[in-house]
């Protein structure tokens, strides 16, 4: 009994899951339903408008036998019922139609007239019903009456081929034709309703077809299975991300800020016993939002009190410096080729104490630099100086840079863009990492719909927060702290104004060198 109940419960849960999946598909593809409904309704409206209105006129015929005694009358009734079924076919045949055309002097052919005539037998009776449709109600009535008269004559001729023998069947006209006062067709309400239903079904079919052809990743569970790694967090689509650039300028309880808090917590608890320090943040292809994700994650980690360094390891299309409003000329490449000390190249951003190592100049061969002894030495020094090092790397599939960096880092985080990155691209990216023995720590599903982003929501306080109760490392809008101007202070000042982060502390000042001096 318990096993049977378990099986039934499992089946019900499976059906429920399938129904939820279908509803999710319709919710994602609801835009596909609108064109189908609109096209069908407009087409039905046009056809209805162009269709000539038709009126109907119906006349009834009674089929009987001339028998008078009871037994003969009963048998005659059965005979009449059989005959009535045959007469329904005769009424719509060419013989009667030709007689009506000649009798009324119609200009249409008998075959054309047949298309406007229907005949049927009233169930369990000997009554024939003849209906004629025509654009003119008067003409429909005349044709219906002519049909009754001509059919009566026609039956007498075929049932009594000789004048000496009487017809065993008598047909009588029951009253006058019943003609409609309003058109029987077209029916606008019915036509538009059926068209809407048909259009909806077509839209659902198109949405289902599009869903089956769509190979992009749209579910965290699917991403976890493809990458064989946990999904550390889902980041919702933010239409203002290009205007705001980072979470530092967003409200503390903004959904995006909460989502990155979830992400940093997940990353913190990935390796509790042996915490990793150096992470490469990459993606399978370009355009998945890895730089923005790396910047916001670094800011969130720094706000939690950790000593964090964000490295721009994309030496082909660097964007970290421009995103944070920092100087790019001096950075990783200048350190690797020995033109600057590591402590001098690190810049500090914001009051949270986020350290940033920009890309520096663009080299002709980034792979050669990443494989150099100098790169290994830099990573060794950064592990000693910082709690967490995040390296924004190029995408995995176009170039080999990210795989080389991942082989030297403690782990890699792959950013996957919702509804854009395909399953095959995720698989190929994971294969690139595993081919160099890189460790995929986890994935991040980026640009999710708000309803699916990390299952998070904004939990507003009931009262106005006390601005004086601020945790260390998570202070409000930073100030310049009296820092001395940098040689390239224009770039820093512009960045500070754009991101509301105050003046950026250059590496040459005491405050800017505070963390960098730990490298010595």
pLDDT tens digit string along 329-375? 999 999 999 999 999 999 999 888 899 999 999 999 999 999 999 99
Domains and CATH numbers, the chain: 55-179 (3.30.70.1130), 220-458+472-519 (3.40.50.300)
Which pLDDT belongs to residue 320?
Answer: 96
Decide if 314 contacts 291 (C-beta within 8 A). yes
Long-range contacts of 476-480 (CB under 8 A, 24+ apart): 477/351, 477/501, 477/502, 478/350, 478/351, 478/352, 478/502, 479/351, 479/503, 480/505
Which pLDDT belongs to residue 165?
Answer: 54
Decide if 282 contacts 406 (C-beta within 8 A). yes
Which pLDDT belongs to residue 162?
Answer: 55
- CA geometry: angle 81, 83, 89, nearest 5 deg: 115
Express each pLDDT in 374-414 by its tens digit: 999 999 999 999 999 999 999 999 999 999 999 999 999 99
Q: Which two tokens stand for residue 370?
A: 């990443």
What are the residue ranges in the chain where pLDDT is below 50? 5-7, 9-10, 13-14, 17, 68-76, 454, 456-458, 463-464, 466-517
Q: 508, 278, 294, 511: which is closest to 382 by C-alpha?
A: 278
Q: What are the residues whose beta carbons fall under 8 Å from the beta carbon of 5, sequence distance 6 or more?
A: none
Decide if 233 contacts 454 (C-beta within 8 A). yes
Which pLDDT belongs to residue 13?
Answer: 46
This prediction has a pTM of: 0.64
Q: Which two tokens stand for residue 486?
A: 């940098």
Bridging pattern class, strands 117-121 and 127-134: antiparallel
Which pLDDT belongs to residue 284?
Answer: 98
Tally of CB atoms within 10 A around 161: 9
Q: 242, 228, 220, 355: which is closest to 291 by C-alpha?
A: 242
Decide if 341 contacts 331 (C-beta within 8 A). no
In angstroms, the CA 90 to CA 82 distance is 13
- CA geometry: angle 329, 241, 235, nearest 5 deg: 110
In angstroms, the CA 277 to CA 161 distance is 109
Q: 207, 191, 190: which is closest to 35 by C-alpha?
A: 207
Which pLDDT belongs to residue 451?
Answer: 62
DSSP H or E run through 505: none
Q: Secondary structure of 417-428 in the HEC alphabet?
A: ECCCCEHHHHHH
């Amino acid at each position: 009994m318990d096993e049977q109940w378990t099986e039934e419960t499992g089946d019900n849960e499976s059906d429920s899951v399938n129904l939820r999946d279908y509803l999710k598909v319709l919710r994602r593809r609801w835009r596909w339903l609108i064109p189908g409904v609109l096209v069908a309704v407009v087409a039905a409206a046009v056809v209805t408008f162009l269709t000539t209105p038709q009126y109907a006129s119906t006349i009834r015929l009674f089929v009987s036998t001339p028998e008078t005694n009871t037994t003969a009358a009963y048998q005659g009734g059965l005979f009449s019922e059989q005959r009535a079924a045959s007469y329904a076919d005769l009424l719509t045949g060419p013989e009667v139609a030709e007689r009506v055309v000649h009798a009324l002097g119609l200009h249409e052919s008998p075959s054309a007239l047949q298309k406007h005539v229907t005949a049927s037998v009233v169930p369990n009776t000997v009554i024939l019903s003849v209906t004629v449709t025509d654009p003119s109600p008067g003409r429909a009535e005349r044709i219906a009456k002519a049909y009754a008269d001509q059919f009566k004559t026609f039956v007498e001729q075929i049932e009594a081929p000789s004048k000496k023998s009487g017809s065993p069947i008598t047909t009588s006209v029951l009253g006058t034709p019943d003609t409609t006062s309003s058109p029987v067709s077209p029916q606008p309400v019915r036509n538009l309703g059926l068209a809407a239903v048909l259009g909806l079904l077509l839209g659902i079919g198109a949405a289902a077809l599009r869903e089956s052809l769509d190979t992009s990743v749209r579910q965290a569970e699917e991403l976890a299975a493809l990458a064989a790694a946990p999904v550390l967090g889902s980041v919702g689509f933010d239409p203002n991300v290009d205007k705001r650039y980072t979470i530092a300028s967003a409200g503390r309880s903004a959904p995006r800020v909460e989502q990155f808090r979830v992400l940093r917590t997940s990353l913190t608890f990935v390796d509790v016993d042996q915490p990793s320090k150096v992470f490469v943040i990459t993606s399978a292809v370009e355009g998945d939002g890895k730089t923005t994700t790396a910047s916001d994650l670094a800011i969130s980690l720094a706000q939690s009190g950790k000593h964090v360094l964000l490295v721009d390891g994309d030496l082909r299309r660097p964007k970290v410096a421009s995103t944070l409003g920092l100087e790019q000329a001096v950075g990783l490449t200048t350190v690797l080729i020995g033109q600057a000390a590591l402590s001098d190249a690190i810049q500090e951003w914001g009051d949270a104490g986020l350290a940033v190592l920009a890309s520096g100049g663009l080299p002709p061969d980034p792979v050669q630099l990443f494989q150099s002894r100098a790169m290994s030495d830099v990573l060794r020094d950064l592990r000693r100086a910082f709690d967490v090092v995040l390296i924004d790397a190029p995408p995995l599939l176009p170039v080999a840079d990210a795989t080389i960096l991942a082989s030297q880092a403690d782990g890699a985080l792959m950013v996957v863009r919702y509804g854009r990155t395909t399953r095959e691209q995720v698989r190929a990216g994971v294969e690139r990492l595993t081919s160099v023995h890189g460790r995929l720590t986890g994935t991040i599903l980026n640009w999710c719909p708000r309803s699916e982003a990390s299952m998070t929501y904004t939990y507003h306080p009931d009262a106005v927060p006390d601005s004086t109760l601020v945790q260390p490392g998570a202070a409000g809008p930073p100030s310049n702290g009296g820092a001395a101007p940098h040689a390239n202070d224009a770039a820093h000042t512009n960045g500070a104004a754009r991101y509301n982060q105050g003046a950026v502390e250059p590496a040459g000042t005491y405050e800017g060198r505070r963390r960098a001096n730990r490298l010595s």
